[in-house]
Structure 1
Amino acid sequence: MKHDTGSCFPANRVTSLLGCSYPLVQGGMAWVADANLAAAVSNAGGLGLIAAASMPPELLEAQLIKVRELTDKPFGLNIMLMSPTVDQVIKLAAKHKVPIVTTGAGSPGKVIDFLKPLGTIVIPVIASVAQAKRVEKQGADAVVAEGMEAGGHIGELTTMVLIPQITDSVEIPVLAAGGIADGRGIAAAFALGAEGVQVGTRFVCCTESTVHPAYKEAVLNARDRSNVVTGRFTGHPVRCLKNRLTSKFEELEKCGATVEEYERLGAGRLRAAVVDGDVDWGSVMAGQSAALVNDIKPAEEIIRVMFQEAFQVTASLSGKITC
């Protein structure tokens, strides 16, 4: 990184690919990443995402229309491949000419095959070297390599060990995700070989974020041991902030509950937290970086300050590391 405290990051493969000032993608957080947040991040020089998740198609279409009313910058759509509405989401992405799509929770083959010929940039979120190599062969334009520090559904490797292995294994650009909430994390990601970052939890506590104030407060109050991972036995582990719901999940696991019983308890709990503000029995998904989030600021200030700090950290290393 060149030292620069201005509004633009020196162009690299990620900024050129995304058409952004900063090599930063906002995480595709279900129920959190709506048109308001996506537009705010894009207007601030990053790439904002709308999370399709299992959103009804008519609501998603309204969001895709709204985001273009709020920004003329590039934006993206996160597609959860396990969603029952995934085929409709892909068609909506094509209809509305969404410039960039990120994918998660499944193989992105059909997304790449359908949308890339239309000019859409496709960036899968992956958690292993095997996945990265596979999606590169399928035609992915870049990958987001997400460590287990991230919130929501996670893999098994930490960001620290995952990123160097991914960058050594593929030729396409790599964005790092998981545990990044300030400039120190961005500098570390670049030191590990990434060319960009994806940031999720920090943007929960963003002025433009429409999540319930109680959800934001839970993130602001998080400490280093406030996180817990539940559901490992289901094959789909999830990282959340500890509350009565996560305690109940742990109780079910100890009692040998079935996957069906576990999933019944979890149904609708993310919306309950994000929209209704139920931080006791709702699923308060947040990464381990929640402990680094201490205030609510506009997206523009969050991004600008993070990159200023990243430049400063990088510059200071020249005096700390010598031969």
Structure 2
Amino acid sequence: MKDKRITELLGIKFPIFQGAMTGVSDHRLAGAVSSAGGLGIIASSGLSAEELRAEIRAVRRMTSQPFAVNLMLMLKNCQELVEVIIEEKVPIITTGAGSPKKLMPLLKAAGIIVIPVIPSASIAKKMAAVGCDAVIVEGAESGGHIGKVSTLVLVQAALQAVTIPVIAAGGIATRAGVTGMIASGAAGVQCGTIFLASDECPISDSYKQKIVEANEVDTVVLGTAYNRPLRVLANYMTEQYFEREENNELPEELKSWVDQAFRAIETGDSDNGAMLAGQSVGLIHEIMSVESILNSLYDN
């Protein structure tokens, strides 16, 4: 029997969240996902308060369906972003990079559903205790910043630790993957990499083509030297990174170099840019519309 807690809680058709990918998940992608029945999520990292306000309003011009904003709690302008989220009556937020505990009274008074992204069952338990409505457990298969535990183990551990809905994230890009996670007890899933290969995703065609061409072993993890592991597609930039790491370059210099690589990908430079992607990249073989992706993942 399908667990309808998350679809009923959020008012969405599919129990599928679109991951908040920094520099990627803007109104164009989030609005398309929400319009098609999933939960579109705007990534607020790197945005000013007024830029976030503009993104929220742009999504609302695209759809009347529920959407969310992802809030990285260690951002210097976090409080300003929270004020915009409340003023604009955003219905749902996902959070990362810290605990929303101090913000919970403010968010709950505004009627906002709070769903943190977490890397362990022990943190899931803490998030349930502070009143979060659900948790997204993100496994090491994911693209972007990752934890240490695989998605399958993490989902089972979280289900043993909490009674609130658990959303599985990491390594999910097929109907079989979604079905398997829900059969294991997850209330829904969050997918990122597969939405990179969508018509509506605002990345370069060269980046999308790399996603389609890659297989499951074509990602690498950068950033372990400065305790910020980051999964990306292997390319010339990653080869250079590992050479620098082997030459004992200082952690802060490595981090600065990777940050520059993020900016390179914005220009479509798929050789020197950091292209976020999870291991599920090997399961993606064509570029499709967001609507087609959602229908391919779940039989509603």
Structure 1 residue 95 corresponds to structure 2 residue 90: no
Q: Does 1:75 align with 2:67?
A: yes
Distance 2:264 2:76 in 1: 20
Q: CA deviation at 1:120?
A: 0.3
Determine if the alignment matches structure 1 residue 291 to structure 2 residue 262.
no
1:223-255: CA deviations, max 9, x gaps?
121100111121110000011221222122222
**2: CA distance, partners of 1:109 / 1:250:** 38
CA distance in 1, matches of 2:274, 2:87: 33
One-letter code of the match for 1:250?
A: F
Cα deviation 1:115-164 (Å, max 9, x = unaligned)? 12110000000010111111111111000011000000000000121110
Conserved? CA contact 1:270–1:285, under 8 Å: no
2:50 to 55, 58, 61: 58
Which residue of the partner structure matches residue 273 of structure 2? 282
Q: How does 1:3-22 map to 2 (within 5 A)?
A: 12-22=4-14
Letter in 2 for 1:197: V
- Aligned equivalents of 1:282 and 1:85: distance in 2? 26
1:182 corresponds to which letter in structure 2? T
Structure 2 equivalent of residue 6 of structure 1: none
Tell me if 1:156 matches 2:148. yes
Q: Distance in 1 between matches of 2:215 and 2:138?
A: 21
The 3-state SS of whatever aligns with 2:41 is strand
Contact (CA 8 Å) 2:3, 2:187: kept in 1 or not? Answer: no
Query: How many angstroms does 1:197 deviate by?
Result: 0.3
Q: Secondary structure of the residue that 1:197 maps to in structure 2?
A: strand
How far did residue 11 of structure 1 move?
6.4
User: Contact 1:151–1:238 (CA<8 Å) still a contact in 2?
Assistant: yes
Asked if the contact 2:23/2:46 (under 8 Å) is kept, the reply is no
> Is 1:255 paired with 2:247?
yes
Alignment partner, residue 44 of structure 1 = 36
In the TM superposition, what are the counterparts of 1:64-213 in structure 2 within 5 Å?
64-213=56-205
Q: Secondary structure at the match of 1:78?
A: strand
Distance in structure 2 (CA, Å) of the matches to 1:113 and 1:202: 35
Q: Secondary structure at the match of 1:267?
A: helix
Hey, what's the Cα distance between the residues in 2 that align with 1:263 and 1:116?
36
RMSD: 1.4
1:307 is aligned to 2:293: no
- The one-letter amino acid paired with 1:61 is R
Q: Which amino acid in the other structure matches residue 282 of structure 1?
A: G
**Cα pair 2:48 2:81 within 8 Å, conserved:** no
Instruction: Report the 3-state secondary structure (helix = DSSP H, G, I; strand = E; otherwise coil) of the residue aligned with 2:240.
Output: helix
In structure 2, how many angstroms separate the alpha carbons of the residues matched to 1:70 and 1:111? 29
- What is the distance in 2 between the residues matched to 1:268 and 1:62? 26
What is the distance in 1 between the residues matched to 2:176 and 2:103? 34
Runs of 4+ in 1 over 3 A off after TM superposition: none
| Cα distance in structure 1, aligned partners of 2:105 and 2:276 | 31
Where 2:132 maps in the other structure, the secondary structure is coil
Equivalent pairs: percent with the same residue?
42
Amino acid at match of 2:85: A
Residues 264-285 of structure 1: CA deviation (Å, up to 9, x unaligned): 1122422431x31111111101
Whether the 8 Å CA contact 2:223–2:255 is kept in 1: the answer is no
Looking at structure 2, the residues matched to 301 and 211 of structure 1 have their Cα atoms a distance apart, in angstroms, of: 18
Cα shift at 1:261? 0.7
> Structure 2: how far apart are the matches of 1:57 and 1:215?
28
Per-residue deviation, 1:187: 1.0
> Partners in 2 of 1:27 and 1:217 — Cα distance?
20
Indicate conservation of the 8 Å contact 2:193/2:281, yes or no: yes
Partner of 2:222: 230
CA distance in 1, matches of 2:171, 2:74: 24
Q: Distance in 2 between matches of 1:48 and 1:289?
A: 19
